[in-house]
Amino acid sequence: MIKKILRELNEFKLPSVLTPICMIGEVIAEMIIPILMGNIVDKGINGGSLDYIIRTGLIMILVALFGLLAGLGGAYFGAKASTGLARNLRKKMFDNIQTFSFSNIDKFSSSGLVTRLTTDVTNIQNSYQMILRMAMRAPASMIIAMVMSFIISPRLASIYLLAVFFLALVMLFIMKTAGKYFKEVFEKYDRLNESVQENVSAIRVVKAYVREEYENNKFKIAALNIYEMFVKAEKTVTLVSPIMMGTVYACILLISWFGAHMIVSNELTTGAMMSLLTYCMNILMSLMMLSMIFVMITMSEASARRIAEVIDEKTSLGNPKKPVMEVKDGSIRFDHASFSYNKDSKDPVLKDINVDIKAGETVGIIGGTGTGKSSLVNLISRLYDVTSGAVYVGGVDVREYDMDTLRQQVSVVLQKNVLFSGTIYENLRWGDENATDEEVQRACKLACADEFIEKMPDGYNTYIEQGGTNVSGGQRQRLCIARALLKKPKILILDDSTSAVDTATDAKIRKAFAEEIPGTTKIIIAQRISSVQDCDRIIVMEDGRVNGFGSHEELLENNQIYREVYESQVGASGDADFDEKE
Ligand SMILES: Nc1ncnc2c1ncn2[C@@H]1O[C@H](COP(=O)(O)OP(=O)(O)OP(=O)(O)O)[C@@H](O)[C@H]1O
Ligand SMILES: [Mg+2]
């Protein structure tokens, strides 16, 4: 898993290598300084040579400068490598997400993907930087300081060995305990993110249902959870500092004590003892850094796993080896097609569908909510694949087409359609990026969107906010239809796309379709009988099956469901629909 993440380093391998090298440079400088310092005391001050003091002092400045430069280099390359890794990870994830099918996205949920792209990557970035800078520096500094101490005085240096051993044990214990809490904290972050994302993206609904308090509470609990976990983890970590300091002072005391004796008996010089004391600090500091690195690794493990999951996810819909690159015509045939969202589910959403639609035909689909209308049309543009059976477009199994070719020819206005932030022109050119202004305007005219666009002060240059929140529901639907029309598809599918459009405009749009794009196969899903009754044929869906398929007159005569709905909608009450019938 870590390997998988590091594979994305690519062009940032060089800074990743340079960082530890710079850091080691810094360590070496840091290690030389105590020796020079000791020499100044022994040979300069005690030896009474001002010349020596100045010379060594100058060397010290040079070494310090070198150390400073190396430190700066380490920081620079470390930042470059870690932010670069983050960028590459995000890009890789984003690229892979673009290939995801609807069922891949169902698996992760959109908000989950956002968390992985943001929080998790930032986590990795931080710990990678830390590891690059410290993972080499800390052990290097420790080992060099240790060796130096042993060279100066093996006897005194063995005090360090004892201290290091003792501290290592304590740290290991503390980090293990804290690591467990940190791991949990990150799982709780997920919940916090989920709560925020859900709330922000659906703020209108939250307000409409006066659920602010409930949402506030939910957030409070999620935030409190994290707070408590962090406090627990940090409580354990705070133990590190007193224990560390205690050990450091104990070492200093011991060295001073034994050192003083040795100086008196001329076994040690004062300068050497000063160097030893500096190394003492160095060694113990490195140990502390090492322990922090362990915490970092624990904390980023979960994030690394979550990122790797997205990078590794294979799209459930792939292009075939030799894809068909042309859709001959707009005919559609369902051949014993069955489908379920969950492969193991016993009750499929669509059961044994057999339908034959000719090119250029206009077909209505009607049926109660959840009867599988959207699922049925989603199979045509291969947003999902059938579980068994097959769907043919233009006489070819949809799984044999190049996916882009197929989707270019099958234009779907999804039930949950969205607009993107940008002008109306920009939004509609999603359908055809080379469309001229005139073509865009013609498509809008067909979708009856021209009337309200022209009334807007900026006309077609009106800026649409993210998600299309600054146009009405019906206006949004009409814009989405226009966008789909611009693709000049062979098959046009409208999934409940005129539900928010008034009946008269709805009829006008359908009339325009019949006159202006007669060759296009049109599939219209609707709840209102009036929206489909003049279609060539109508499919009546009931519990994932085709209950009836025929013209309005035929169905009125021999399909009970259709007749009942027709009577309830056109009859006395006039506003009943499917749901009320059940
Ligand atoms: N992404 C999904 N994952 C799992 N189950 C789903 C998914 N989308 C729909 N379903 C289920 O599939 C069934 C059919 O849903 P579908 O959206 O096709 O109904 P529909 O006829 O379009 O309904 P409506 O008129 O409300 O749009 C429903 O029971 C629904 O719960
Ligand atoms: Mg639907």
Rg of the chain (C-alpha set) = 36
231 and 361 within one domain: no
362 and 241 within one domain: no
Q: CATH number, domain at 518?
A: 3.40.50.300
The residue to mutate among 101, 347, 365, 369, having the most atoms of ligand 1 within 8 angstroms of its beta carbon, is 369
Cβ burial of 81 (10 Å; 0-12, 13-18, 19+) is: buried
302 and 232 within one domain: yes
C-alpha 411 to ligand 1 mean position (Å):
20
C-alpha 65 to ligand 2 mean position (Å):
69
Is residue 575 pLDDT above 60, yes or no?
A: no
Tally of domains within the chain:
2
Q: Which atom of ligand 1 is nearest to the CA of 415?
A: 27
Residue nearest to atom 12 of ligand 1 (CA): 349
The residue to mutate among 342, 346, 373, 380, having the most atoms of ligand 1 within 8 angstroms of its beta carbon, is 373
With 0.75 as the threshold, say if the pTM is over it: no
Nearest ligand (C-alpha, residue 105): 1
Confidence tier at 571 by pLDDT (50, 70, 90):
low
375 and 231 within one domain: no
350 and 213 within one domain: no
Q: What is residue 289's predicted lDDT score, i.e. its pLDDT?
A: 83
Is residue 499 pLDDT above 50, yes or no?
A: yes
136 and 100 within one domain: yes
CB distance 370 to ligand 1 below 6 Å: yes
Quick check: is 474 in a domain? no
Quick check: is 124 in a domain? yes
213 and 360 within one domain: no
pLDDT mean over 441-468 = 88
- Total residue count of the chain as it appears in this document: 582
Q: What is residue 230's predicted lDDT score, i.e. its pLDDT?
A: 83
Q: What is residue 144's predicted lDDT score, i.e. its pLDDT?
A: 86
Q: What is residue 210's predicted lDDT score, i.e. its pLDDT?
A: 84
Report residue 219 as tokens: 């957030």
Q: What per-residue string of b and e applies to 15-48 under the rule 16 or more CB within 10 Å gives b?
A: bbebbbebbbbbbbbbbbbbbbbbbbbbbbeeee
Is residue 578 pLDDT above 70, yes or no?
A: no
Domain boundary among 281, 312, 343: 312
Please compute, for residue 188, the number of CA atoms within 13 A of its CA located in the half-sphere on the CB side: 19
- Do 270 and 46 meet the contact criterion of CB atoms below 8 Å apart? yes
Q: Which atom of ligand 1 is nearest to the CA of 103?
A: 1
Residue nearest to atom 7 of ligand 1 (CA): 341
Residue nearest to atom 18 of ligand 1 (CA): 372
Quick check: is 460 in a domain? no
Confidence tier at 294 by pLDDT (50, 70, 90):
confident
Write out the residue range of the structural domain in which residue 66 sits. Answer: 2-312
346 and 286 within one domain: no
CB distance 476 to ligand 1 below 6 Å: no
Confidence tier at 198 by pLDDT (50, 70, 90):
confident
Domain boundary among 279, 312, 345: 312
339 and 295 within one domain: no
Quick check: is 438 in a domain? no
Q: CATH number, domain at 55?
A: 1.20.1560.10
CB distance 319 to ligand 1 below 6 Å: no
Residue nearest to atom 29 of ligand 1 (CA): 370
Confidence tier at 333 by pLDDT (50, 70, 90):
very high
477-488: pLDDT as tens digits: 899 989 988 888
For the chain, give the mean pLDDT. 86
109-156: pLDDT as tens digits: 777 788 889 888 998 999 899 888 888 888 888 888 888 888 888 888
C-alpha 52 to ligand 1 mean position (Å):
86
55 and 145 within one domain: yes
Report residue 399 as tokens: 């799984």
CB distance 267 to ligand 1 below 6 Å: no
220-278: pLDDT as tens digits: 888 898 888 888 888 887 887 788 888 888 888 988 899 899 989 988 888 888 888 88
299 and 336 within one domain: no
25 and 144 within one domain: yes
Quick check: is 125 in a domain? yes
Is residue 287 pLDDT above 90, yes or no?
A: no
Confidence tier at 359 by pLDDT (50, 70, 90):
very high
Domain boundary among 282, 312, 342: 312
Nearest ligand (C-alpha, residue 369): 1
